[in-house]
A = this chain, B = another copy of it.
């Protein structure tokens, strides 16, 4: 199987596969005499695992640790990684709930002021709402197409 076929079977772009190989996520494949990469069925499985991990929100460099050595990654570490990610998710959800709450407050406040024909002081409102926002929180990065 050449790279194009593997790409089709996994839904990835050939460039992405080469990129994964280059980043050490995928072992270097055999080459046919003309220099083309030749993959076994195994490669599909490997990529599926990468895709799953990506879907679960693990950045590629975290995967590298687990996929670098050939097979059998220590189970304790694996569980630890899962737990770490689970914690991250909780934090993100908390942050999102806070955002949602603030947005709803803002929505209501503005709607009411609008209905009453009043003019709102955006600055004061912002100061007020900023006081509620506690933990700013960082990026999520949840899979691209």
Contact = CB atoms under 8 A, between A and B. Distances in A.
- Looking at A46, A97, A106, which has the most chain B CB atoms within 10 Å of its CB? A106
A32 to B, nearest CB: 24
Interface residues of A, number: 49
B93 A126 contact: no
Q: How many identical chains are in the complex?
A: 2
Contacts of A95: 142
A123 interface: yes
A145 to B, nearest CB: 6
Given A100-B86, A107-B83, A52 B130 contact: yes
A48 to B, nearest CB: 5
A48 B139 contact: no
Interface of A: 45-46, 48-49, 51-52, 55-57, 75, 78-79, 82-83, 85-86, 89, 92-93, 95-97, 99-100, 102-104, 106-107, 110-111, 114, 122-123, 126-127, 129-130, 133, 136-145
Q: Which 5 A-B pairs have the closest CB atoms?
A: A45-B123, A140-B140, A136-B143, A52-B126, A49-B126
